[in-house]
Amino acid sequence: MHGVPTYVEQLAEMFHGVIVDGSSSCIPGSSHQQEEVLGDEEGEDPEGEGFVPSPLSSNSRKRTTSTADTSASSAKKSKSSMMKMFQGLISELQVSRTKDEQALAEMARQREEELEKRQKMREELLKKQRMREEEFEKRQKMREMESQKKKEEAQEDINRCLFLVKDARAGPNTQEFYVATRLFHSEYNRMVFNRMDTKEDRLTWLKKAVQDYNNY
């Protein structure tokens, strides 16, 4: 046998409660011989004419009884062997089923662990991506703040320079003031104008700037 037959459960159900003890079994041609033995034991001759005492009748009965006992014992042993065989097959099936269930459970556990691992990797990637986006937004805000700060500082510097132009007696209606509004757009011109010490120097510088503007 290369393996457990698939119909073992049907065999167990088929032979459940059936006892084979050999009491009903017979060998062809032996029926007449049994009748002769019984006739001899009762003291009757083979032709049926009378009874003949036989001193071996008691021994014959004993032998018959002994044969029946041996047959019953053999049937019990056969039944016991068959039951042991079926029990062994059922045990093997149960062990095989248990192993299969354990293998399936292990596969399911490994699959679950793999899914959890992938989920953690995705969450980690999303977390890193959010961190990069937050860092980019933070830097962008810092650049915007720095740009806004520079604009505010430039506006304050222009206002200060125009105040100095007015202080140098070049009012808003003068050509010097108009040219100054164009010149002070450059940080370099504002720096030069702020480095002059007196009002006269600033006004002289503005007049020369007007001449250059007109010549241009």
SS (H, E, C) 146-194: HHHHHHHHHHHHHHHHHHHHHHCCCCCCCHHHHHHHHHCCCHHHHHHHH
The model carries a pTM of 0.42
- CB 15, CB 82: distance < 8 Å: yes
Return the structure tokens found at 74.
């053999």
Categorize the per-residue pLDDT at 43 as very low, low, confident or very high, splitting at 50, 70 and 90: very low
Predicted pLDDT of residue 88: 77
- Name the residue among 210, 189, 193, 190 with its Cα closest to residue 201: 193
Q: What is the mean pLDDT of residues 145-164?
A: 94
pLDDT in tens, 84-142: 777 778 888 888 888 888 889 999 999 999 999 999 999 999 999 999 999 999 999 99
What does the alpha-carbon distance between residue 168 and residue 156 come to, in Å, rounded to a whole number?
18
Torsion of CA 11, 14, 20, 25, to 10 degrees: -100
What does the alpha-carbon distance between residue 191 and residue 184 come to, in Å, rounded to a whole number?
9
Cβ-in-10-Å burial (0-12, 13-18, 19+) of 213 comes to middle
Categorize the per-residue pLDDT at 15 as very low, low, confident or very high, splitting at 50, 70 and 90: low
Q: What is the mean pLDDT of residues 29-34?
A: 48
